[in-house]
Structure 1
Amino acid sequence: MLPTLSELLTLPAFAGAEVLSGHSRLSQPVTWVHVTEVLDAARFLSGGELLLSTGSLLAQASARAQTDYLRSLQEGGAHGLVLELVQGFRELPPELLGAARRSGFPLIVFRQEVSFALLTRAAHARILHARGEVQGASLAPLLDALAETGRSLDFLQVQLGPLLRLPTRPRTVLMDTLSALLETNFNMAKAARRLGVRRQTMYYRIEQLRAMLGDLNDPARQLGLHLALELTRLEISGTEGSDSEASETTSGSVHHS
């Protein structure tokens, strides 16, 4: 299982972190930890992230812009914000802290200088360990799936396991991103246009995909991922078909009664 925000805060690298708001949401799972200093960071999010920032640009923004920034992170699906109160802020503005407390958004601070590299490394090691080791790119499970009924689930776990274990929102975003990359032969510009996002967003998402799925450049691996995505679509289609048939049967029974 993915680590919760509370669990990440117990890691030695996070010693000294102080939770100022959102205590009731510390049990949320964290899918990734990302360092950002831009005020439009929400456009990069896929859901479940913990963001780290010195607050250098945020400190220069108006009180309204600061609260808008916080709201955009929540709407983007972020599960928390860590601020280092050394460069940008010495103390949090009352408006920003008040907005975080009113919304219950986890706002965490360090009152001393910390290494964001160490924080992300420790957090990602815990996140990726929770997802299990990335399987190899062998197509043997696929051959078995074609020959024997009931092997498709094993194949899906080998190819997409770490993605399938994500919460619904980040799973959907990253699987759609992977599909767009494969269908455009990893042309970042085309994939970005297809998804309606910026190229910077694609670079961020592909970093996550590579960390979870391993080497995406190997042709055999790409073929396996292509087929695995098709299997997920077939399963969804089959499920919808079954639900539709069940609905028709129920409707028919009511009609004939």
Structure 2
Amino acid sequence: MLPTLAELLTLPAFAGAEVVSGHAHLTQPVTWVHVSEVADAARFLTGGELLLSTGSLLARMNDGELEGFVASLAQRGAHGLALELVQVFRDVPPALLGASRLHGLPLIVFRSEVSFAALTRAAHARILNHGGPALDPSLAPLLDALAETGRSVAFLRAQLGPLLNLPARPRSTLLGTLDALLTTNFNMAETARRLGVRRQTVYYRLEQLRAMLPDLDEPRRQLGLHLALELTRSEAGEALNAAERT
């Protein structure tokens, strides 16, 4: 499963992070981390993102614009906003803090200079299957057999197909959604709750998955997909990367 915002904040790269609002929402999963200094950042989001900012754009906004900015992020399903309080701000603008509380968007600050490259690199490494859930013990013998016979990559190709060819971010998002759908037996409301996104977002992603994965509703197909997802967790750094390169 995808890491929660709280889990990302325990990474060494995030050591200086301070949560100033939205503590109740830190258990939401994070799908990706972006650096953005544009007013319409929300239109690039698909749900579950953590947005990083130096505040260079926010400093030019009035109180109403700050509230609108936060509202747009929340409406698009963002799961956090991180602000560096070094070059532009020395403290969080009251309007930004109030809007974050109003819309339930976690607001995180760094009071000393931080490398956004280091933050995104650490977060993405965690999101892309590092430190994922433990392998289901009942499936271990079967997955070991696939590995021992050299069929892991072929099995991944057969089951996940076009998903493996997607760029890292959409691949991670759709794999996480597929995992949640299979775990909840395609309960859309529960899947949305687990992913921390709106139900409409789950329906949209499901249509994308159906376009790439034929017979998605068949039980036998779902079993194969479940095994493939377990395989990506047990051999993510080897089998999945090998499947992408070959």
Provide TM-score, normalisation by structure 2: 0.61
Number of equivalenced pairs: 174
Question: For residue 164 of structure 1, what is the aligned residue in structure 2?
Answer: 175
Task: Quote the offset at 1:85 in angstroms.
Answer: 0.7
Task: Pick 1 or 2: higher relative contact order, CA cutoff 8 A, min separation 6.
Answer: 2
Question: For residue 63 of structure 1, what is the aligned residue in structure 2?
Answer: 63
Question: For residue 141 of structure 2, what is the aligned residue in structure 1?
Answer: none
Write out per-residue CA displacement over residues 109-156 of structure 1, whole angstroms, 9 at most, x where no aligned residue: 001110000000000010002569xxx9999549xxxxxxxxxxx933
Q: 2:158 aligns with which of 155, 158, 163?
A: 155
Quickly say closer, same or farther: Cα 1:105–1:140, change in 2 above 3 A.
closer
Q: 5 Å matches for 1:41-190? A: 41-128=41-128, 129=130, 140-141=154-155, 155-157=158-160, 160=163, 162=172, 163-166=174-177, 167=195, 169=201, 172-173=204-205, 176=208
AA aligned to 2:30 is V
Residue 235 of structure 1 aligns to a residue whose secondary structure is coil
Q: Which structure 2 residue ranges, 5 or more long, are not aligned?
A: 134-149, 165-171, 178-194, 220-246
Query: Separation in 2 of the partners of 1:131 and 1:171?
Result: 24
Quickly say closer, same or farther: Cα 1:173–1:58, change in 2 above 3 A.
farther
Query: Separation in 1 of the partners of 2:207 and 2:124?
Result: 20
Quickly say closer, same or farther: Cα 1:139–1:103, change in 2 above 3 A.
closer
Query: Separation in 1 of the partners of 2:132 and 2:57?
Result: 34
Write out per-residue CA displacement over residues 9-37 of structure 1, whole angstroms, 9 at most, x where no aligned residue: 00010011110111000000000001101
Write out per-residue CA displacement over residues 78-107 of structure 1, whole angstroms, 9 at most, x where no aligned residue: 000000011222111111111212222100
Looking at CA atoms only, which structure, 1 or 2, has the larger radius of gyration? Answer: 1
Is 1:235 the counterpart of 2:216 in the alignment? yes
Residue 51 of structure 1 aligns to a residue whose secondary structure is strand
Question: For residue 15 of structure 1, what is the aligned residue in structure 2?
Answer: 15
Contact 1:48 1:170 in 2 (8 A): no
Residue 87 of structure 1 aligns to a residue whose secondary structure is coil
What value does the CA root-mean-square deviation take over the aligned residues? Answer: 3.3
Provide TM-score, normalisation by structure 1: 0.59
Residue 216 of structure 2 aligns to a residue whose secondary structure is helix
Query: Separation in 1 of the partners of 2:15 and 2:202?
Result: 28
Query: Separation in 1 of the partners of 2:8 and 2:94?
Result: 26
Write out per-residue CA displacement over residues 143-183 of structure 1, whole angstroms, 9 at most, x where no aligned residue: xxxxxxxxxxx93346538523234737845974x99xxxx
Contact 2:161 2:213 in 1 (8 A): no
Is 1:24 the counterpart of 2:20 in the alignment? no
Percent sequence identity over matched residues?
60
